[in-house]
Chains A and B, each alone.
Chain A
């Protein structure tokens, strides 16, 4: 088990490298999670012990090897449960792999859950500050970008109100604005739906395009092959936790469509 995450000296060095990565989750259901079972498993050899030792694990990723360098934009495609989200989380450093090695160089910007760290009782401005800190910005960075972020949200005086008074679309504007306010080196995006109004979606789209242009490495998990084709130059088809094919986006999508049909 090895995991290293280093900031890139310059963005031209941003790199993601996975070598025979395996991730498996223990499934603890109800009783098997209890200390009693674990102790009994050691002290008795009866049925209970068998129960407790009968640990079910799910192999979410098996033998995943890939490497990405600056300029690579990878689309992860595959059916539900193929391991796309787990792979993204491994790249984000959330899961340190059980087997194999992961090397990440560069500042990682995960965009998985747009509502992470939002405190609805705080004002919009305070939430911008909190989220900025969570994403690794310094207090000065955030204050410097505050007006730009506020402008992007178009929320005006609402930013002084607690966020529980916001509609979900307004909340999305704010979290999106913070998430995209700085230049990431490695951008990881899980499929997520824009719930804003048409005007905002168009604006978000431009921002994302711009963002994608700047991110030195992009990894996107999506079922929307159109978006994959437009944003990415490489594709990775995942099936049952394993790499089915890895290569140029067009050939991988062609293989995927042929395989799915």
Chain B
């Protein structure tokens, strides 16, 4: 790979932007492909994708009862918190840990037909959104069981979810590209994701950190979860959460744009 000239670089950026525009315009295709990805996994099972819902529900209840006991908090305080946290975390973590297969999994398409690379990203994110929607059903069950109504603050969850989704799309773009070239990236991501789960307030409330709760300021995942979780529990996320989410988004935009414009044309060669 030679380093391009200035004009070449500008051309790369233009082609990359065109790719994104074309990819988004093909929404009927990626919506269908994304659905198929889900259906393929659960074809001929009675519950279908609702198996995801069932296993998530069992996890929420089981962990909720045990950890509420350990932390000595009431179920009504803990389970809704845990439920939303796990659902949002499930969305973020599966996006990150499966992003490595984004382009390698689409090898047969990429080598046969010219489609915008962003189409594969959209397809991937769309299938993750579908899974999120299935899991989200549990939230309604939990809030009606415990009679905790979030009120109008819940509306803040919508922009929060969009920010998380945008970041998921950006991160999976560069993770997918790097993983196509270096096949050990998915393994690294998987282990990092596992660690992040334990150091992020999902199974435990941030207050439990006591004097060290400021540590969470530096945990990007905490902010991304919080801008969705807090509204769904009836609180408006803090300004700090939004500023952090803005910084994370800006960083992801820069990295994704740099990788995508530089290496987009190389993806087919690496597969």
Contact = CB atoms under 8 A, between A and B. Distances in A.
A251 B36 CA distance: 49
Interface in A61-106: 89, 92-96
B114 A35 contact: no
Interface stretch (B85-93, B125-133, B178-186): B178-186
B113 interface: yes
Contacts of B8: 1-2
A127 to B, nearest CB: 10
Contacts of B29: 133-134
B183 A34 contact: yes
B37 to A, nearest CB: 10
B55 interface: no
Nearest to A23: B269
Contacts of A116: 108-109, 112-113
B111 A96 contact: no
Contacts of B28: 133, 138-139
A251 B145 CA distance: 82
Contacts of A93: 114
B110 interface: yes
A3 B113 contact: no
Contact of B43 (A1, A36, A121, A135): A121
Which of B33, B36, B113 gathers most chain A CB within 10 Å?
B113
B113 A134 contact: yes
B112 A110 contact: yes
Nearest to A39: B182
Which of B29, B110, B269 gathers most chain A CB within 10 Å?
B269
Nearest to A35: B182
Chain B interface size, as a band, is 20 to 34
A19 to B, nearest CB: 15
A113 B114 contact: no
Contacts of A33: 181-183
A95 B269 contact: yes
Contacts of A96: 265, 268
B9 to A, nearest CB: 11
B108 A1 contact: no
Interface string B98-140: 0000000000111111110000000000000000000000000
Interface string B1-36: 000100010010001000000000010110011001
Interface in B237-260: none
B265 A3 contact: yes
Contact of A25 (B36, B43, B188, B269): B269
Contact of A130 (B36, B111, B269): B36
B191 interface: no
Which of B8, B32, B114, B270 gathers most chain A CB within 10 Å?
B114
A35 B185 contact: yes
B144 interface: no
Nearest to A113: B112
A2 B11 contact: yes
Contacts of B184: 34-36
B101 to A, nearest CB: 15
A119 to B, nearest CB: 6
Contact of B32 (A95, A113, A133): A133
A1 B110 contact: no
Given A1-B4, A2-B11, A94 B265 contact: no
Contacts of A2: 8, 11
B48 to A, nearest CB: 12
Given A92-B112, A110-B113, A110-B114, 12 more contacts: A2-B8, A3-B15, A5-B114, A33-B182, A35-B188, A36-B184, A94-B114, A94-B268, A95-B268, A116-B112, A121-B43, A134-B115
24 contacts: A3-B15, A3-B265, A33-B181, A35-B182, A35-B185, A38-B182, A89-B111, A92-B112, A92-B114, A94-B110, A95-B268, A95-B269, A110-B114, A113-B108, A116-B112, A117-B109, A121-B39, A121-B43, A122-B36, A130-B32, A130-B33, A133-B32, A134-B113, A139-B28
